[in-house]
């Protein structure tokens, strides 16, 4: 399991939104590129980036910063979401050095789009499912749909997606602990890797995820498993030490 630092872009800055709300925004840095350098220097091998401007506008906005980070760290794995609504955007980001594109809103609105891009860009597509009380939210979390997270996850699993990023909106940015029950329910329901997101507070959350993963491994109940956990505010607020978290996952001694 990888610990994946998050870099959320808003107006060219690194920010965090509590429960996806723009009126509850905290700015952590004016230098996204420098922040990426910092996380890599501490051992990060994968970054989770979200173009929040793009998510709300429906088109890429911070692509220059993303491309610079990819160019500066060619061995870094980058997964990116926010404003990815068409094939041209996916192709442009792949050419810029992004490894995985996260399809969120359009996956919910047009599930057939996921089928198409998995066929056109095999090995590069992740679906982002953002849930509130088990229901999927869309359009930068501004709208809650009548589709369940589990039903959509099952529908996308057959398309050849690489993973699902599952975010519990009620937990996101709140540093109140991850929704372990909902995350494990998804792991046990869908045979693709799950990347957990939302609510990571400290090293205990990482231990809890590792413990659950190891229990499932022993039972042989891990078709996809928890391949990673995304953390943002906990790193920026200093309640989680990235190097300690990475070492814990590598050693798997909980």
| pLDDT above 70: percentage of residues in the chain | 89
> How do residues 46-96 score in pLDDT, each as one tens digit?
999 999 998 888 888 899 999 999 999 999 999 999 989 999 999 999 999
Confidence of residue 138 (pLDDT cuts 50, 70, 90): confident
Residue 220's pLDDT is 58
Q: Tens digits of per-residue pLDDT, 208-229? A: 999 887 766 655 555 568 999 9
What is the reported pLDDT for 211? 87
Residues taking part in catalysis:
8, 130
Tokens 């814990």, located at residue: 248
Q: Residues with Cβ < 8 Å from 135, sequence gap 6 or more? A: 144, 145, 146, 147, 148, 149
Which residues are 193's β-sheet partners?
none
């Amino acid at each position: 399991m990888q610990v994946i630092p998050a870099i959320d872009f808003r107006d060219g800055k690194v920010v965090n939104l509590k429960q996806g709300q723009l009126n509850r925004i905290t700015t952590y840095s004016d230098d996204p590129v420098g922040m990426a350098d910092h996380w890599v220097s501490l051992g990060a091998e994968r970054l989770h980036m979200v173009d929040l401007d793009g998510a709300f506008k429906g088109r890429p906005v911070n692509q220059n910063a993303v491309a610079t980070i990819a160019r500066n760290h060619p061995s870094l794995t980058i997964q990116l979401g926010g404003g990815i609504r068409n094939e041209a955007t996916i192709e442009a980001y792949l050419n810029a050095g992004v490894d995985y594109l996260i399809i969120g809103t359009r996956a919910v609105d047009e599930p057939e789009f996921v089928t198409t891009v998995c066929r056109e860009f095999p090995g590069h597509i992740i679906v982002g499912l953002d849930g509130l009380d088990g229901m999927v939210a869309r359009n930068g979390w501004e709208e809650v749909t009548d589709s369940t997270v589990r039903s959509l996850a099952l529908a996308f699993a057959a398309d050849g997606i690489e993973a699902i990023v599952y975010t519990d909106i009620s937990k996101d940015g709140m540093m109140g602990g991850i929704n372990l029950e909902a995350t494990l329910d998804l792991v046990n329901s869908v045979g693709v890797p799950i990347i957990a997101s939302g609510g990571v507070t400290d090293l205990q959350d990482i231990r809890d995820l590792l413990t659950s993963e190891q229990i499932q491994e022993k039972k042989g109940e891990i078709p996809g498993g928890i391949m990673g956990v995304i953390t943002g505010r906990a790193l920026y607020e200093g309640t989680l030490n990235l190097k300690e978290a990475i070492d814990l996952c590598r050693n798997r001694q909980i």
